[in-house]
Amino acid sequence: MVAESAESRRRRRYESPARRERAERTRAHVITTAGRLFAERGYAGTSMRTIAVEAGVGLETVTQTGKKADLLLAAFRSGFAGDADAVDLTALIGDFPGRDDDIAAAITTATARLADGLRDSLGIWRAFTVAAAADETVAAARAELAALRRREIATWLETSENAGGLPSRDATSRARLADMIGLLTSHDAYDHLVTVCGWPHDDFATWTAAAILDRLGPP
């Protein structure tokens, strides 16, 4: 057996990070392409082969990135949170407000970020919603996202209450408030007010921040 030379070992160490970086770029490109196609053609109208052709990669590369439902979820997360692997989508809300924090400013800033995420992922969310009605895997992913978001909002509220930034509530009231905030910051609310009713994007963000602050109440 021929021993590996020092030069070969050095080259292998340098090439591995480069290969990983290329693989990550390719995955991100595939997910972005899939998201654009899902938004334009819908879930049913977008095949894995179409994604491969549009992305300029082989079909095997696309299938290695994930199943079709996985690509839809990753594309949604990327569009909404800017990260295809994001789990805590409500991290966009920001830090937990404490007793001395400016709650109004924090909520206004956070709501502007959320509104941008809603706008950027609205097309994929529509595809997600339609696909969930016909595909059990997509429906399960959508339900999991909704449950996760509800838990994260409730946790954000409880932590803020404990820090003295918000008035204390019992578990039931906190869960109801989390549901209200979830509705106010949902794709459905954005789609209705901006797309259907013609509200400017910034007006939606301003109104949503005011509505959330009204529900939160004084510290």
* HSE toward the beta carbon, residue 56, CA cutoff 13 A: 4
Inter-helix orientation angle 103-132/68-81, to 10°: 160
Reading the chain (219 residues) residue by residue, the pLDDT tens digits are 445 566 665 555 555 777 888 888 899 999 999 999 999 999 889 999 999 999 999 999 999 988 998 898 888 888 877 666 655 545 555 555 555 567 888 888 888 988 998 998 899 999 989 999 988 988 998 888 888 888 888 888 888 888 887 889 999 999 999 999 999 999 999 999 999 999 999 999 999 999 999 998 765
CATH of residue 37: 1.10.357.10
**Number of domains within the chain:** 1
Q: Which residues pair with 98 in a beta bridge?
A: 164
Residue 117 in domain = yes
Identity at 30, one-letter amino acid code: V
What is the total residue count of the chain?
219
Residue 1 in domain = no
Write down the pTM of the prediction: 0.78
Domain region containing 69 = 6-216
Residue 55 in domain = yes
Identity at 46, one-letter amino acid code: T
Identity at 115, one-letter amino acid code: A
Residue 165 in domain = yes
